[in-house]
Amino acid sequence: MLIEERHRRILEELNKNPSVTVARLAALLHVSEPTVRRDFTELEKKGLITKRYGGAILHPSAADQEIPFLLREQERSSVKAEIGRKASALVEDGMVIMLDGSTSAYHLVPYLARYKDLIVITSGAKTAVALAEANIRTFCTGGQMRIHSFSYVGDSATAFVKNINADILFFSCHGLTEDGRMTDRAVEEADLRKAMFTVCKKKVLLCDSGKFGKTYFYNMGSVTEIDEIVSDAPLPPQIEKMIRN
């Protein structure tokens, strides 16, 4: 297992179970306890966790902090690339497109290069760089960059978004509940997405099947407020019915 993948797994386990021990993590990851302790040291240097006797906790100042972009970028990357390919079929030449700062939206970028005269607005710093490298006319929302996620948030980002008229929005969330609620960890990013909803003619959720049935503490809205969901697997029947209605 690569170090980045191991770090991601550790953060996920700590998020689910703050009392998980070094011994338990070592067993889950099939590594030695000294390896887990070294991982703890690296994650603490990055400000993501605080070590304690026998284990660690997520950093107390980051209750809504996302798993870092560099780790999320590796998570189910082939699945997200396939979702990006499917979603690109909704794009047409000359569109004004809005992308949030998610890794799902980031994986859409390579499939946009074949279209002409696009304008893309994004709240993701890495996404903006990828768009520029693909020679796509790009605007970044600006604002305060969230550490680790490389996403812009805040009043200035919201104000910029509200001045845009976009044809389509591609965005993601951390969890999609059985009753159709889109939930997330990061309040500020979720609130910026809500602002994006108001200025885009069409709203498309990029949601891999690993997020189905998961609930996080902040509600971003309902799938009844959006137009389409692109996933790697068939949608749960209740969700599909809500989208069709």
Which residue's structure tokens are 């809005």?
98
Would you state the pLDDT for residue 19? 80
Residue 1: per-residue pLDDT: 64
pLDDT confidence of residue 63: 44
Give the per-residue pLDDT at 200: 98
Backbone φ and ψ for 169, nearest 5 degrees, come out as -120, 130
CA of 171: how far to CAs of 4, 145, 208, 244, in Å?
24, 18, 12, 19
What is the model's pLDDT at position 15? 74
Q: Is 54 left (phi over 0), alpha (psi -120 to 50) or beta?
A: left
Encoded amino acid at 229, one letter: I
User: pLDDT truncated to tens, each residue of the chain (245 aa)?
Assistant: 668 778 878 887 887 777 889 999 999 999 999 999 999 998 888 777 888 888 888 765 444 455 555 455 455 578 899 999 999 999 999 999 999 999 999 999 999 999 999 999 999 999 999 999 999 999 999 999 987 778 999 999 999 999 999 999 999 999 999 999 999 988 899 999 999 999 999 999 999 998 999 888 899 999 999 999 999 999 999 999 999 88
- In this prediction the pTM is 0.74
pLDDT at 62: 45
Domains belonging to the chain, first-starting first, are 3-63 (1.10.10.10), 76-244 (3.40.50.1360)
Alpha carbon distance 39, 3 (integer Å): 8
In DSSP notation, 1-36 reads --HHHHHHHHHHHHHH-TT-BHHHHHHHHTS-HHHH
d(CA 137, CA 95): 11
Handedness of CA 184, 155, 94, 113 (dihedral sign): negative
54 vs 33: CA distance, rounded Å: 10
H or E segment to which residue 41 belongs: helix 33-45
Q: What is the pLDDT of residue 212?
A: 94
pLDDT value for 185: 84
Q: How many Cβ atoms are within 10 Å of 173's Cβ, its own excluded? A: 28
Between CA 6 and CA 1 the distance in angstroms is: 6
Q: Is the dihedral of CA 177, 111, 69, 135 positive or negative?
A: negative
